A and B are shown apart, each in its own frame.
Chain A
Amino acid sequence: MQNRRKFLRNTTYGTLGLHIWEQALGKASPTPTQRTYRVLTPIQAKTLEAIAECIWPSSPEDPGAIEAGVVTFIDRSLSEFDHRLKTTYQNGIASTNAFSHSKFGRNFPALSTKQQNEILSAMEQGSTESQKIFTDISPSEFFELLLAHTRQGLFSDPLYGGNQNFIGWKSIGYPGPRFLYTAEMQTKFAPLELPLRSIADM
């Protein structure tokens, strides 16, 4: 599977080809089963991946939240630092799928991108429809949580499971932590183009 991904990326279609391929399979991409999650069930992982992909989509120029491992980050933090949020996530994900079902007749991962964005917007606004479905946490609070964790999963150090292969940092042009910046670096007024590094590389 990894070879096929690499192959597709290296063909003329590139990442776009991979994306189309995944779409054709109804987003039944092998990605979720390749990764071992500690807390999330396969359906929960798939739902979160689809949500994260809406928040920070893949594009021809650079990969998105799924490749960056945002869901690995969330899964890991739910098993450690954010263990108190496990139930919140379980309920929130279930409600997201229930909401998708009530509006479009299918679970969130099976919806089209347009439909998915509609669901998330409704959650973000705390629409009356969504309020009726979400019971344990308000839809807008859950959405804020997803947003915060997706951003953390993209831009925290790779040691937390996200920002894999520096995908998040590469996107925005952040080189990672370093012990020093020189006067020259600080007055360049141009992209610094420093080699990417993580805490482990320091």
Chain B
Amino acid sequence: MSRLLPLTGFEPSQILSPVEVLVVGTGAAAAPLAKELVDTGFQVVCLERGPFQRINPDFAGRNMFDELKIAYRRDMQPQGRDLYVTFRDDLKKKATPRPYRMRVGVGGSIEHWAGQSWRFYEEDFALRSQVIEDRYRDLDLSDLLKNEGASVQDWPLTYKEVEPFYEKIEYEVGVGGRPGVLSTNGTLDRSQARLFDSRKLGRGQDTEQGGNIFEAVRRKGYPFPPLRDNQIDITFRNTIREMGLSSFHVPTAITNETWTSELGVDRAGCSYCVFCAGYGCWNGSKSSTLSAFLPYLEKKNNFSVRTFCDVFRVNTKDAGKGRKLATSVDYFDASGTVVRQPARIVILAAYPFQTTRILLNSGIDGNLTESDEVLVGKYFMNRQEGATANVAFDSHVLNGYGGPAVQRRGCEHFNGENFSEIKLKELLPKGQFFLRGAFIGSPSQWLPILVSNMTPPNIPSWGTDYKEYLRKGFSRFMGLQLLVEPLPYEDKQLDLDPTHKDRHGIPICRITNPPHENERRMVQFIGQKGQEILTQATRLFGGGQVWGESSVRMAHMMTHDTGGTRMGSSPDNSVTNRYGQMWQVPNLFPVGGSLFPSMSGHNPTQTIWMLSSWVGSAIAQKCVDFENSERLSQKGPQAKRKNRI
């Protein structure tokens, strides 16, 4: 039962005519859903907080080729004191303001993302039943789970159900890769699938055919290959092979040649210009809202985008039995006037911080039960920082400044439960066992200001020795990406800051993100593993200096923000059902990373795209009842896609 009250005041000066579907946001969570609904004939209006930039002219030409402007002066992200969040790493502490790192503008943050695009593993959707209660059923995990307040649940959907939507995204939006586990008979039966293991292929061939041998079965390959291997990738792959492990180029949502998507959108090929992760793509080869969706959507007359709409409240009416129905959305327009937009269906796709903030300011706590607990905002997840591994080779030249960030190979041998044997045999006896794992990869995009800030601990950070180090070290430097998978916990949450408000006087989002034992142990293991890999590399490539950390650090938050409106099987344990529909507000759908009940050791974007397409299809194919979230079609939406060879 709601104890949370909606924000009062800020009454509208203008009330517009109702629209059918109102989508707040235009980023990764919004675009696929908008497409599904537009294709079915719904009228879709997207409200975007920022301006309507376009690839041409805003990202094109020389605009993006400026490390200082974009990476350090944050030109891609909003400036200004109203666009902040507050952050603390402990429930007992007061949170301090931090700049809001997400881009505000049509396309949102997908316009400057790195481009790593993964399907989750099958087990990623069933952490509770498959990992904790099955695989590790004989272990006492209370020191990792119960004692730490972990709240791990399965997703209310399976890989098998969403696999067609992953494929749809790859072919409609543009994701390149090489299969690792490819079906031979059109089913998802792993025993019938063909494995592409880089270790079983001849030297020099594995850039052509190796994939992720741990991946969930794919019915089809990718529409095009991933990016090339560069000096850093070749160094990594040879080292990994020496260690008896497999590697592969990560799947990249970046066209590597000219390509036409299944939506009929023509795309240029990547030119390896380097100003990639954190930058808009100058030629649209990086898949995003602007490059992959907008050219298709803008041709439809039942789709429109309205810019400079700072949405702050969803208005609701009582619908009995603790339920509400959304009636309209309030926003500040460019002049600061409050405008009310009535709508039949409301989608919040504004990034977990903003989506959660809007819900809480609307008095929507997500709780249909008798308790007064606020469920919206709970079980937030973000990458745990602290595991790093860097190397400056003595003579081996890498030219890491000459490739985009996501031109990288990956090693999945220490991700998910792929190394459970090692965990059980070596870590468990030492009391160092942990759940889940981390992606290990070899990124590029080592630009000058960035590398000048990353010196080995024994080198002074200024002076003659520093200069000497950097003169030689700059082009011989690389650092691994170590992407640790965190669990969801009771005390990791998003809520409203009690003190800080935006320039209109509306409370902003507060992030509480304490570290936990599982991640501490994982960071230690993975940090050391990364440093071990690079030490091996120095043995193979003429020596060098390796350095890194392997203990938890809260200095910096990565941008894989998930959780806050988790989906689940019942109103007792989740905020939305399996179609992203709020149990409490049946015509309100908070879509995006906020739906995730658990994280995965992979970048979330392709799963966010997939969920957006899944939810949009469920609405379009009438799998949901807008008056009652519990009346669901269990059959699930079908992914309509063209026949492919």
Contacts and interface: CB of A to CB of B under 8 A. Distances in A.
Interface of A: 54-57, 59, 61-62, 64, 81, 117, 120, 147-148, 150-152, 154-157, 160, 168-169, 171-174, 177-183, 185-192, 199, 202
B201 interface: no
Given A59-B464, A183-B228, A151 B68 contact: no
Given A57-B463, A173-B475, A174-B448, A188 B67 contact: no
Contacts of B61: 202
B68 A152 contact: yes
Given A173-B475, A186-B272, A157 B448 contact: no
B557 interface: no
Contacts of A55: 462-463, 466
Interface in B258-297: 271-275, 282
Interface string B435-458: 000000000000111011100000
B467 interface: yes
Given A117-B463, A156-B449, A187-B231, A172 B62 contact: no
Contacts of B241: none
Contacts of B503: none
A180 to B, nearest CB: 4
A155 B228 contact: no
A181 B274 contact: yes
Contacts of A160: 68
Contact of B449 (A56, A155, A182): A155
Contacts of A156: 66-68, 449
Given A173-B475, A174-B474, A199 B448 contact: no
A172 B448 contact: yes
Nearest to A57: B464
Given A173-B474, A188-B399, A56 B73 contact: no
Contacts of A56: 462, 466-467
Contacts of B399: 185-186, 188, 191-192
Nearest to A61: B471
28 contacts: A55-B462, A56-B462, A56-B467, A57-B467, A117-B463, A147-B461, A150-B462, A152-B68, A154-B452, A155-B67, A155-B448, A156-B67, A157-B67, A169-B448, A172-B451, A177-B66, A177-B274, A178-B274, A179-B273, A179-B282, A181-B271, A185-B402, A186-B228, A186-B403, A186-B407, A189-B398, A192-B399, A202-B61
Contacts of A182: 272
Given A147-B462, A187-B234, A171 B228 contact: no
A181 to B, nearest CB: 4
Contacts of B471: 61-62, 171-173
Nearest to B283: A179
A180 B449 contact: no
Given A173-B474, A174-B448, A192-B402, A157 B66 contact: yes
Nearest to B403: A186
Interface residues of B, number: 43
Interface of B: 61-62, 65-68, 72-73, 228-231, 234, 271-275, 282, 396-399, 401-403, 407, 447-449, 451-453, 461-464, 466-467, 470-471, 474-475
B62 A189 contact: no
B397 A151 contact: no
A151 B471 CA distance: 13
Given A172-B471, A174-B448, A177-B66, 19 more contacts: A54-B462, A56-B462, A56-B466, A57-B464, A81-B73, A148-B453, A157-B68, A169-B448, A171-B470, A172-B474, A174-B401, A179-B273, A181-B272, A186-B272, A186-B403, A186-B407, A187-B229, A189-B231, A202-B65
Name which of A81, A156, A188 has the most chain B CB atoms within 10 A of its CB: A156
Contacts of A61: 471
Contacts of B407: 186
B465 to A, nearest CB: 10
Given A54-B463, A171-B470, A173-B475, A180 B273 contact: yes
B392 to A, nearest CB: 12
B461 A191 contact: no
Contacts of A169: 448
Given A172-B470, A179-B282, A186-B403, A155 B273 contact: no
Contacts of A202: 61-62, 65
Nearest to B401: A174
B275 A177 contact: yes
Given A59-B467, A199-B65, A188 B448 contact: no
Nearest to A176: B65
B62 A151 contact: no
A147 B470 CA distance: 14
A25 B340 CA distance: 71
Contacts of A199: 62, 65-66
B273 A181 contact: yes
Contacts of B67: 155-157
A114 B453 CA distance: 24
B470 to A, nearest CB: 6
Nearest to A183: B228
Contacts of A64: 467
Contacts of A178: 273-274
A159 B428 CA distance: 56
Contacts of B475: 172-174, 191
Contacts of A187: 229-231, 234
A1 to B, nearest CB: 26
B397 A189 contact: yes
Contacts of B461: 147
A180 B62 CA distance: 12
Contacts of A171: 467, 470-471
Contacts of B397: 188-191
Contacts of B463: 54-55, 57, 117
A188 B271 contact: no
A120 to B, nearest CB: 7
Name which of B62, B399, B401, B461 has the most chain A CB atoms within 10 A of its CB: B399
Contact of A180 (B272, B466, B470, B474): B272
A181 B399 CA distance: 11
